[in-house]
Amino acid sequence: MTELLTAAQMRAIEQAAIESGEVTGLELMERAGQGVVDAIFAEWPELAMPKHSAPAAGGAGGSTPSPLRGSPPEYLERDDNEMRRAVVLCGPGNNGGDGFVVARLLRDAGWQVEVFLYGDAEKLPPDAKVNHERWVKIAPVTALTEQAFRKVAFADMYVDALFGTGLTRPVAGDLAGLLRHLGGYGGDDYRPRMVAVDVPSGLCADSGRVVTPNPRARVPTATLARLTVTFDSPKCGHFVGDGPHHCGRIVVKDIGVRQFREHKPNPHTGRGHVVRFPRTSLIGKRRMVPDERPFFSVDIRYFTKNQGHKYAHGHAFILSGGVGKGGAARLAARGALRVGAGAVTLGSPPAALIENAAQLNAIMLQSLKDPDALRVLLQDTRINALCIGPGLGLNDRGAALVAGVLGGEEPRPTVLDADALTLLAQDRALFDELHANCVLTPHAGEFARLFPEIAEKLNAPATTGPAYSKVDATREAAKRAGCVVLFKGPDTVIADPSGRCSINASVYERSAPWLATAGSGDVLAGFITGLLARGFGAMQAAETGAWLHTECALSFGPGLIAEDLPEELPKLFRELGI
Ligand SMILES: NC(=O)C1=CN([C@@H]2O[C@H](COP(=O)(O)OP(=O)(O)OC[C@H]3O[C@@H](n4cnc5c(N)ncnc54)[C@H](O)[C@@H]3O)[C@@H](O)[C@H]2O)[C@@H](O)CC1
Ligand SMILES: Nc1ncnc2c1ncn2[C@@H]1O[C@H](COP(=O)(O)OP(=O)(O)O)[C@@H](O)[C@H]1O
Ligand SMILES: [K+]
């Protein structure tokens, strides 16, 4: 799993590294700039070749020639028209400092580079100032205005080094106009050749939200990049909110500060060597950081232990709703069975038994009239995980069953989804019954009903950076509910009350928009319930269920309907070696 950082955490790590005396801020800036240039040549290999010998520009792919460094003399003598051109936009902080390094390194590689600065050179922070001074010995810097930028000729590469993790307020005035222009307002499309340093300018690195007083603006005040090069670790904002849309693709460059990232205080280390913070992990298939586990793997131990009979693999019980409403619960039941629960029973109101019986084979069926019947049923201690909500119905029976599930003598690990969430929102006494082995799986609407004050903060305009994020909101919700909360979406955030948090991002190479199909959430609830039955802890079941859900969708591809998701699991498990 890859660890995601906030801007404050990254700053603390950088500070610890510098205070240790092992590295200077200037060295870190040089490494960052070098990382950006390396990433550019890896992404656009043709740009490492002289203009007229390169194959037609077409993005990444093919062999990767080594970047031209050290300026071959014949290259420098080339006519200006033969040279690659870059426009580097530098801002008033250290992000701008990285920009000056990128400009110098591209120039060293034989490029013609035009540099713009937004702000006063005298006020640049010290390391950025040094790199500014190095650049002005080579070539001039132009003050950045929209008008000045619009006068520049077409470039092979645009480098956005205006704002990084230090964006604190909305971009205003002329610069806002420029960001809108860079973001496509007026029809110009810079995205195919735009590389963002650390984060696309205008976007909050923590929340992935555009910092603006007007979130409904048709064209946001943030750049749109084809490639975003970040340092040490990806930031939360690269994976939640509008982050993926603005970033294009994320490349993480090591700048040699990983050893300063610790999670526990180390009594033997000196001043500035320890940085402590709550973890936010990215659950993803793609390798983001060189020395981290490439896969979020399903814990195979849980699948291979207990060679015994079916009940040794757990018994999941799914409560269903009334006549004609059983589809959602049946989908959840199918998900629970396929994911590995040894037995799954659907609890159906008597009137819907025939309907459910006609649709089910391996899944057992049980008449479940009311909470009294539930109490009797739950005397069977083999039932070790419950799912309530899909198709349950917003009625008295539903509310009584939610109360029965939560208030039993030995509350079981329970997934509460769909209607159960709405019922919880309507009755705060029920909400107070939630326990640590519950998993709530709201989508945005359900989240707003359950946690109105938190949703209000999340939906308010992001007028300051760092802005309140979906990660913050989910952590706060989990704490308030006292159980695991899985906040759905392409950026599914999962948190437990201790602050542990993960993101299952169905974005970038894991993008699967076809998951937004009726019933797919019911299957997710079933996956999590099946994993709970299998013995997974609540947080691990939610993380693994969300991960498998996306992987099933990716494996099946477009055209997917909810029924297909559980059927994809056997193939996936084979691939995972389970
Ligand atoms: N933290 C680290 O370990 C490293 C950071 N580096 C770079 O440093 C960056 C962070 O640098 P800074 O903290 O200086 O932050 P930034 O460079 O992102 O921006 C801070 C500056 O922008 C101004 N500003 C903020 N919002 C504004 C707005 N809306 N309009 C106009 N001005 C605004 C601030 O007053 C401040 O002058 C990172 O994104 C990264 O690019 C790298 O040099 C490598 C190492
Ligand atoms: N654009 C998207 N990309 C990837 N996954 C998505 C996207 N939109 C929704 N999802 C996922 O699809 C599921 C939809 O669940 P939900 O909203 O409860 O729908 P339903 O009630 O129809 O099952 C969730 O797991 C959610 O995370
Ligand atoms: K930037």
pLDDT tens, 141-154? Answer: 999 999 999 999 88
pLDDT higher than 70, residue 54: no
pLDDT at position 302, please? Answer: 67
Kindly give the distance from the C-alpha atom of residue 112 to the centroid of ligand 1, in angstroms, as a whole number. Answer: 26
pLDDT higher than 50, residue 291: no
Mutation choice for ligand 1 from 95, 132, 233, 258, CB with most ligand atoms inside 8 A: 95
More confident residue, 172 or 301: 172
Strands (E) in 59-144, as ranges, are: 85-90, 112-117, 141-143
pLDDT band at 80 (very low <50, low <70, confident <90, very high): low
pLDDT band at 515 (very low <50, low <70, confident <90, very high): very high
280 lines ligand 2 (CB under 6 A): no
Q: How many CA atoms lie within 13 A of 159 on its CB side?
A: 34
Kindly give the distance from the C-alpha atom of residue 492 to the centroid of ligand 3, in angstroms, as a whole number. Answer: 25
Find out whether the peptide bond into 466 is cis, omega within 30 degrees of 0: yes
Asked whether residue 177 is marked as a ligand-binding residue, the answer is no
Kindly give the distance from the C-alpha atom of residue 479 to the centroid of ligand 3, in angstroms, as a whole number. Answer: 33
> What is the architecture of the domain spanning 2-48+83-277?
3-Layer(aba) Sandwich (3.40)
200 lines ligand 1 (CB under 6 A): no
pLDDT tens, 344-379? Answer: 999 999 999 999 999 999 999 999 999 999 999 999
Q: What does the pLDDT average to over 455-479? A: 96
Closest CA to 206 of 240, 233, 183: 240
Assigned fold of 312-576: UDP-N-acetylmuramoyl-L-alanine:D-glutamate ligase (3.40.1190)
pLDDT higher than 70, residue 76: no
pLDDT band at 177 (very low <50, low <70, confident <90, very high): very high
pLDDT higher than 50, residue 75: no
Kindly give the distance from the C-alpha atom of residue 173 to the centroid of ligand 2, in angstroms, as a whole number. Answer: 38
pLDDT higher than 70, residue 280: yes
Q: Is the ipTM of this complex over 0.95?
A: yes
Distances (CA, A) of 538 to 318, 342, 377, 386, 544: 17, 18, 22, 12, 10
- Residue owning the nearest CA to atom 4 of ligand 2: 490
pLDDT at position 74, please? Answer: 44
Same fold, 2-48+83-277 and 312-576: no
Per cent of the chain over pLDDT 70 is 88
More confident residue, 496 or 19: 496
166 lines ligand 1 (CB under 6 A): yes
Kindly give the distance from the C-alpha atom of residue 161 to the centroid of ligand 3, in angstroms, as a whole number. Answer: 4
Tell me which ligand sits closest to the C-alpha of residue 553. 2
Q: What does the pLDDT average to over 245-254? A: 96
pLDDT higher than 80, residue 575: yes
521 lines ligand 2 (CB under 6 A): yes
- Residue owning the nearest CA to atom 13 of ligand 2: 521
Sheet hosting strand 250-253, strand order edge to edge: 141-143, 112-117, 85-90, 157-161, 194-197, 227-231, 250-253
329 lines ligand 2 (CB under 6 A): no
Which 3 state secondary structure label does DSSP give 331? helix
Asked if residue 490 lies in contact with residue 506, where contact means CB atoms within 8 angstroms, the answer is yes
Mean pLDDT across the chain, nearest whole number?
89
Q: Which residues pair with 345 in a beta bridge?
A: 317, 364
Q: Which residues pair with 5 in a beta bridge?
A: 235
Domain ranges of the chain: 2-48+83-277, 312-576
Asked if residue 166 lies in contact with residue 196, where contact means CB atoms within 8 angstroms, the answer is no
What atom in ligand 2 is closest to the CA of residue 441? 18
Residue 542 carries which side chain, given as an amino acid letter? A
pLDDT at position 301, please? Answer: 63
pLDDT band at 502 (very low <50, low <70, confident <90, very high): very high
Asked whether residue 490 is marked as a ligand-binding residue, the answer is yes
Asked if residue 171 lies in contact with residue 179, where contact means CB atoms within 8 angstroms, the answer is yes
33 lines ligand 1 (CB under 6 A): no
CA 407 to CA 425: how far, in whole Å?
17
Residue 116 carries which side chain, given as an amino acid letter? F
pLDDT at position 520, please? Answer: 98
pLDDT higher than 80, residue 285: no
pLDDT at position 298, please? Answer: 66
CA 235 to CA 252: how far, in whole Å?
10
pLDDT higher than 70, residue 277: no
pLDDT higher than 70, residue 109: yes
pLDDT tens, 396-443? Answer: 999 999 999 998 778 999 999 999 999 999 999 999 999 999 999 999
Determine the Cα angle at 438 with ends 432 and 444, to 5°.
85
**Residue 150 burial by Cβ neighbours in a 10 Å radius (0-12, 13-18, 19+):** exposed
Which 3 state secondary structure label does DSSP give 238? helix
Kindly give the distance from the C-alpha atom of residue 266 to the centroid of ligand 2, in angstroms, as a whole number. Answer: 42
